[in-house]
Structure 1
Amino acid sequence: MTQKAYTQGSTFPPTKPDVLRIYSMRFCPYSHRARLVLNHKKIPFEVVNINLKSKPDWYLAINPLGTVPALQIDDKVITDSVAAAEWLDDVYTESRLQPSDPYRRALDRVLLEYISKFYGSFRDALKSTDPTTLQTNIEETKKHLQFYEEKLKARGEGPFFGGSKPCMFDLLFWPMVERFPVLAVMKESPTANIDADKFPTFTAWVQAMKELPELKATGFDTDSYVAFFRGYLKETPDYNLFLKE
């Protein structure tokens, strides 16, 4: 099966009985979430990448929203990155990621909801063309990072939000953090860099996360994200970037 993105007019790749499939896009942070969970739990799966600018009709029949990720196994289809991740954790019970304590799970849900503020200000900064607006957006993003710095420090349990081991929130947050360094490169703004002295707990978390096998099996380096985002900002994203097949 090709890694290249299926586009309008393409033929639907037939599913196989009992084989879990993820509909994805290689550079999408939300798809990245699901792939992290799949790799963490060592779940066998196949990937079908989707061209989000020219979606196949057969994909819209599977997921009318046209978003990724979506999981499919036999007649079951799960859309939305959080729903997909939680479903995987509930069905494949090895290496559980969700906290067993209901209160802790609720606290992690609050952290999860706050990601939209962090990633929203990051995207605003990435799209900024005015230097003053850019700096305002960078400062706003740093404010949201400070929120996570304080929450992680308050837990005081280990390098991860889950303590000595990563929890679901760690994996759901990471894709947005992995993309953050593109800001300093694309905007040529040193102020976008994360100062380890100001964010020591968050910086330690980043370093611990980078050592996880599931992270090494997914995602890209900063230069690769920069290359993708340059096309994305021009509304000409190359979903097949770096693929030769």
Structure 2
Amino acid sequence: MVLPILYSYRRCPYAMRARMALHYAGVKVETREISFRAKPAHMLQISPKGTVPVLQLADGEVLEQSLDIMHWALAQHDPENWLGSVRQQADAVELITLNDGEFKQALDRYKYADRFPDQPSAIYRAQGERFLTLLEGRLAIQSCLQGEQPHLADVAIFPFIRQFSMVDVDWFVQADYPRLRGWLNAWLASELFQAIMQKCPVYTDE
């Protein structure tokens, strides 16, 4: 049996959410951990953009975007209905668009503030906090971002909140986001996250 090939990088939030969806769906793949300093030639051949995740299916089709990989995985098997209702799917699009757009930009500038010296890091953090405040408000009335059960938005957004929380841990643990911290910690402790964070040797074409 030829398995789909997943090119990944353990700490990349885009790759994390793709791996979580694949593992949740029970889709077996051959995971190839890359080094950004020596990207595999085969990966660049099938996806010249050179970023992860990249999933090559058994029939040769290539999925180059993490959300496409997530949706493909859930189309194979979605035992807990992560996709949810039509309304929830539309809501997920809005939340993930905010996460991948405005919030990701603020996150990058906050994390790498030395590369963006026009503003102090606290300014970039405050820009990111607009999204944190939105999520905190949702979690004040429900257990997960889209209701009482996990859905696509939770999994797609979680790795980026994890990354944001790690920029200044001391600040995050005392910031006024108790429900968001609880939500984040639950995902960090989950069997799903632990499973997809197992270390793999770096893959080479040689």
Q: TM-score range by the shorter chain?
A: 0.7 to 0.9
The residue type paired with residue 29 of structure 2 is F
> In 2, Cα distance between the equivalents of 1:88 and 1:126?
30
Measured on the aligned residues, the alpha-carbon RMSD in Å equals 2.4
Does the CA contact (< 8 Å) of 1:60 and 1:66 recur in 2?
yes
Counterpart position of 1:232: none
Matched, 1:216 2:194: yes
The residue type paired with residue 3 of structure 2 is V
Cα deviation, residue 97, structure 1: 1.4
For residues 40-64 of structure 1, what are the alpha-carbon distances to aligned partners after superposition, in whole Å with 9 as ceiling and x for unaligned? 2232222112233332332222112
- The TM-score normalised by the length of structure 1 is 0.71
Counterpart position of 1:112: 96
> In 2, Cα distance between the equivalents of 1:203 and 1:124?
22
From 66, 77, 80, give the equivalent of 1:81.
Answer: 66
For residues 6-47 of structure 1, what are the alpha-carbon distances to aligned partners after superposition, in whole Å with 9 as ceiling and x for unaligned? xxxxxxxxxxx4412211112211111111112222322221
Structure 1 unaligned regions, length at least 5:
1-16, 221-238, 241-245
Decide whether aligned partners of structure 1 residues 171 and 124 sit closer, same or farther in structure 2, where only a CA change above 3 A counts.
same
Report the count of equivalent residues: 196
The residue type paired with residue 149 of structure 1 is E
> In 1, Cα distance between the equivalents of 2:182 and 2:112?
29
> In 1, Cα distance between the equivalents of 2:136 and 2:111?
22
Cα deviation, residue 146, structure 1: 0.7
Instruction: State the structure with more CA Rg.
Output: 1
Does the CA contact (< 8 Å) of 2:107 and 2:164 recur in 1?
yes
From 133, 137, 151, give the equivalent of 1:150.
Answer: 137
Counterpart position of 1:98: 83
The residue type paired with residue 211 of structure 1 is A
Equivalences for 1:1-245 in 2 at 5 Å?
Answer: 17-74=1-58, 75-99=60-84, 101-115=85-99, 116-129=101-114, 133-153=120-140, 156-157=141-142, 159-184=143-168, 190=170, 192-195=171-174, 198-219=176-197
Decide whether aligned partners of structure 1 residues 126 and 207 sit closer, same or farther in structure 2, where only a CA change above 3 A counts.
closer
Local SS of the residue matching 2:11 = coil
Q: Which has the higher contact order (CA 8 A, sep 6+)?
A: 2
Cα deviation, residue 131, structure 1: 10
Does the CA contact (< 8 Å) of 1:30 and 1:81 recur in 2?
yes
The residue type paired with residue 133 of structure 1 is P
> In 2, Cα distance between the equivalents of 1:140 and 1:194?
18
Identity of aligned residues (%): 22
By percentage of residues, which structure has more helix?
2
For residues 185-231 of structure 1, what are the alpha-carbon distances to aligned partners after superposition, in whole Å with 9 as ceiling and x for unaligned? 5xxxx4x42436x22321231233233211122348xxxxxxxxxxx
Segments ≥4 residues shifted beyond 6 Å: none
Cα deviation, residue 106, structure 1: 0.6
Cα deviation, residue 161, structure 1: 1.9
- The TM-score normalised by the length of structure 2 is 0.83
Structure 2 unaligned regions, length at least 5:
none
